Amino acid sequence: MAKGDGAQELMRELAGKLDRRLLAVCHEEEPVWACWLGGRSPLAAEQALQALDAISLAPVFVSVGEPGAGLSGWRLSHRQAKAALPIAERRGRPLVRYADVALLAAVLGDDLATTSLRRLYLEPLEKGRDGGRAVRETLRAYFAAERNISSTAAVLDVDRRTVSNRIRAVEDLFDRPFKDFATELETALLLDG
């Protein structure tokens, strides 16, 4: 999927770089292009992503579904790309692969999950003395650092004990071990931007 001024031209350029046939359809109600890159041999998502990295995407947002064979494979890939496109826009990232955001895309497509994650995990954090700003910043850095306390401390320019204390405070707030709800909390933080 591609959205933005110049999306059709960008997809033509991509098809040319990959030596593929382009089938592009624009939905009239919104300026979004659904694109299929056809060819005699399978196209790995990594090939498309590498080619897209070599092209200036701005101001276009592109989302890539996972390759599939036949009509059912195309339909699944199309639905994946469609689900990933709002995440690209929301994050301000010009290129998003569905495989990298599958869980978040699934949650965003489910109002019950979205509302529940916000209420269960974000609202309690807001009760902190600074509205939960410091703990959210710490948690985002912690998850970005692949749950490594030393790396988190370095990124935030704080002591390791500060990071550990903030995580312990989150455990106390939720009255359970952090590992038992870390994935849900990480997903809720991703929903929050």
Same domain? For 85 and 126 the reply is: no
Same domain? For 101 and 128 the reply is: no
Q: Please identify, among 56, 83, 108, the residue that sits at the C-terminal boundary of a domain.
A: 108
Same domain? For 9 and 103 the reply is: yes
Same domain? For 84 and 176 the reply is: no
In terms of DSSP H, where are the helices of the chain?
Answer: 7-18, 45-53, 70-91, 98-108, 111-117, 123-125, 133-144, 149-156, 160-174, 182-191
Same domain? For 146 and 178 the reply is: yes
Residue 29's pLDDT band (cuts 50, 70, 90): low
**pLDDT 10s digits, 112-153:** 999 999 999 999 999 878 999 999 999 999 999 999 999 999
Same domain? For 42 and 125 the reply is: no
β pairing state of 95-97 and 61-64:
parallel
Q: Please identify, among 82, 108, 134, the residue that sits at the C-terminal boundary of a domain.
A: 108
Question: Which of 30, 35, 39, 38 is CA-nearest to residue 63?
Answer: 35
Measured distance CA(126)–CA(173) in Å, rounded? 11
Q: Please identify, among 89, 108, 127, the residue that sits at the C-terminal boundary of a domain.
A: 108
DSSP state, residue 131: T
Same domain? For 133 and 77 the reply is: no
Same domain? For 12 and 87 the reply is: yes
Same domain? For 61 and 124 the reply is: no
> Does the pTM of the predicted model rise above 0.95?
no
Same domain? For 77 and 134 the reply is: no
Q: Range of 95's domain? A: 2-108
Same domain? For 140 and 166 the reply is: yes
What domain count does the chain have?
2
Same domain? For 98 and 131 the reply is: no
**pLDDT 10s digits, 151-186:** 999 999 999 999 999 999 999 999 999 999 999 999
Residue 98's pLDDT band (cuts 50, 70, 90): very high
